[in-house]
A and B are shown apart, each in its own frame.
Chain A
Amino acid sequence: QVQLQQWGAGLLKPSETLSLTCAVYGGSFSGYYWSWIRQPPGKGLEWIGEINHSGSTNYNPSLKSRVTISVDTSKNQFSLKLSSVTAADTAVYYCAREGPWYCSGGSCSTDAFDIWGQGTMVTVSS
């Protein structure tokens, strides 16, 4: 059974860099894309970006200039860095697996997030 465990600093000052890591246990790492998603207090979900085992990334255009997602395949881990944080970046941050794979019309793909980490509350305050 696949599990995601995430960790990182929970309190930052404005202008600092947010850094979180997510470890994947119990399943294939190379067969999936892996994402970061955040949720401000009392608000909805925002996709931040994704990475696969070979390091191929896609980012939300609204955050692209400040986001770096990286991967360490030797440890089955992926990480998020978000630079120059402000109070607007205060949120619960989740890591998630993109899945499940399914096939339709002769092609196979994923379009959802089937496994989630436990979430990390990150507060930005001076």
Chain B
Amino acid sequence: EIVLTQSPGTLSLSPGERATLSCRASQSVSSSYLAWYQQKPGQAPRLLIYGTSSRATGIPDRFSGSGSGTDFTLTISRLEPEDFAVYYCQQYGSSQYTFGQGTKLEIK
């Protein structure tokens, strides 16, 4: 099983700033099958990024994904008030899915 470790656990930033969230895998992720989600309290997760760098339908272009192998990054170029939430990475390989433990993005 591939274990995903997200860092930092909590990120405190202000609106307008740039956010960089990290996701590190315990072994190489197959074919860059890496996705990112945003979750707000009481809501289901929302898909932001799939295939490492493709934005899902309706996701603003301030969200971008990058990386390969074992190191992946979600970048939010300029934080809007609605971006403060918990973010999860997720990988797919060998017919199995695993999630990271999450990064909480909070208002500073």
Interface residues of A, Cβ cutoff 8 Å to B: 35, 44-47, 58, 60-61, 94, 100, 102, 104-105, 109-114, 116-119
Contacts and interface: CB of A to CB of B under 8 A. Distances in A.
A61 B1 contact: yes
Contacts of A102: 50-51, 54
A44 B102 contact: yes
Chain B interface size, under 10 / 10 to 19 / 20 to 34 / 35 or more: 20 to 34
Q: Is the interface of B mostly helix, strand, loop or mixed?
A: strand
A62 B16 CA distance: 42
Interface in B35-71: 35, 37, 44-47, 50-51, 54, 56-57
Interface of B: 1, 31, 33-35, 37, 44-47, 50-51, 54, 56-57, 88, 90-92, 95-102
Contact of B99 (A45, A58, A114): A45
Contacts, number: 65
B50 A45 contact: no
A46 B90 CA distance: 10
A14 to B, nearest CB: 26
Nearest to A111: B33
Nearest to A115: B47
Contacts of A113: 35, 37, 45, 47, 90
A118 B45 CA distance: 10
Contact of B33 (A35, A45, A94, A109): A109
